[in-house]
Amino acid sequence: MIDVRLLRNDPAVVRAALARRGKPDLLEQLEHAIELDARLRDITLERDALRQQVNGLSKEVGALRKAGNTAAAEDVMAKSRALGDSETGLAAETEQVELALRDVLLRIPNLPHPDAPNGASDHDNPLVSGPHHLPAQFADHQRVPHWEIGAALGILDNERAVKISGAMFTMQRGLGATLSRALCQYALDSNADEFEEVRPPTLVTSATLTATGQLPKFADDAFFIERDDLWCIPTAEVPLTSLYAGEVLNETQLPAKMMAYSPCYRREAGSAGRDTRGMLRSHEFDKVEILAVATPEQSPELLQEMVKRAEKLISGLGLPYRIIEICTGDMGQSHHRSFDIEVYAPGCDAWLEVSSVSWFADYQARRADIRFKRSTQKGTEIAHTLNGSALAVPRVWAAIMENNRQADGSVRIPDVLLPYMRGATHIVPKSE
């Protein structure tokens, strides 16, 4: 969440920053937060004044009793009790206003970085780099959608996945499943030079999901296990971010770099009827995530490093790709600045987002209470967090199927994945 002190000290800056997101209702929420914060401070002043009066009256009661003036002492005690009742009422109102303020702040998105491009939607996201590896034209045998290729090769069996689990689940078989695993191992091995591998739990508490910004705003997009009060993670970013929740790190520990493979679960509640065929949109998929906890000074350089790492993975696969920067109107809830890598899938005739790398500034770390201590000064500071999809399997898998399809119907496996494919260099039709 944004720093409440910024609301108090420089509300104009916050208004201007949120206005860049192009959603008028955000400014209404902001004004409500400012009003609640002002009321909270007024209540605090009233409560403190009452406490001071009660303390003064208590001393007066003691003096009167010592002087033997019992009647006067009883009168002062009655006045003190009345003030105490008022203080109790203010304490209850304080709790109410604090909860209301926190709820509003949890729903207000992060402030865009000054260098983030302005725009109203994804149509305004500027091209940063590319297209790379994009041929002058594609052959007809590459203009086949991956769900047809997968079915013909016997490696994509969504019909049985739906029978097992319901709509919007997918299932890879044979070398299709091997390819999915190979992509994850490729991403992990490529980042193992600097990122610690973690295998986090895939079920997390509400507090953990709140820390990254999914709750309370996006509860409808997540799978909730009510009996145990646990949520299925939509990405490994969620548990990795909370790894240091409530802790104070030493400056020398930063940046802390982690990576994780995990299954990811998403209801895709707002995507009904979109991209329902093949692998483009499903309730469960595999992904490798990279994440860093850093100081504010380390974050800009880390953002560029993580973008380059994600780019290197896609480039290594030989897929046509481009990099775009996310404009203010298309930014996610927690994003301060963000870049996407997209691959072109000739069978779908579309650019598919396969990686998103984002800097959250102190937005997530404030929610999770992740702090660090500098050796040169007293006190602690809120850390910064960054994360990136090192490699999300479904759309990369789809792009490989379509780009690498050969004239005979087989699919060539990218060279960088061969060490993980048990000797296979191509996926051939079942009849062969």
pLDDT under 50: residue ranges of the chain: 432
- Torsions phi, psi of 425, nearest 5? -110, -20
For 4-107, CATH number?
Answer: 1.10.287.40
The predicted structure's pLDDT at residue 75 = 83
For residues 156 and 279, is the Cβ–Cβ distance under 8 A?
yes
The predicted structure's pLDDT at residue 91 = 85
Residue whose entry in the numeric block shows the structure tokens 């061969």: 418
- Polymer length in residues for the chain: 432
Fold classification of 122-427 (topology level):
BirA Bifunctional Protein; domain 2 (3.30.930)
What region, left, alpha or beta, does residue 422 occupy, with left being phi > 0 and alpha being psi -120 to 50 degrees?
A: left
Amino acid at 79: K
- Torsions phi, psi of 86, nearest 5? -65, -40
How do the residues of the chain divide into helix, strand and coil, expressed in percent and rounded to 5? 45, 20, 35
Quote the CA–CA distance of 171 and 180 in Å, as a whole number: 10
Q: Where are the domains of the chain?
A: 4-107, 122-427
- Torsions phi, psi of 202, nearest 5? -100, 0
**Predicted confidence (pLDDT) per residue in 177-229, tens digit:** 999 999 999 999 999 999 999 999 999 999 999 998 888 888 989 999 999 99
The predicted structure's pLDDT at residue 277 = 80
Q: How many CB atoms lie within 10 A of CB 341?
A: 27
**Predicted confidence (pLDDT) per residue in 323-344, tens digit:** 999 999 999 999 999 999 999 9
In this prediction the pTM is 0.90
Structure tokens given for 65: 């009793």
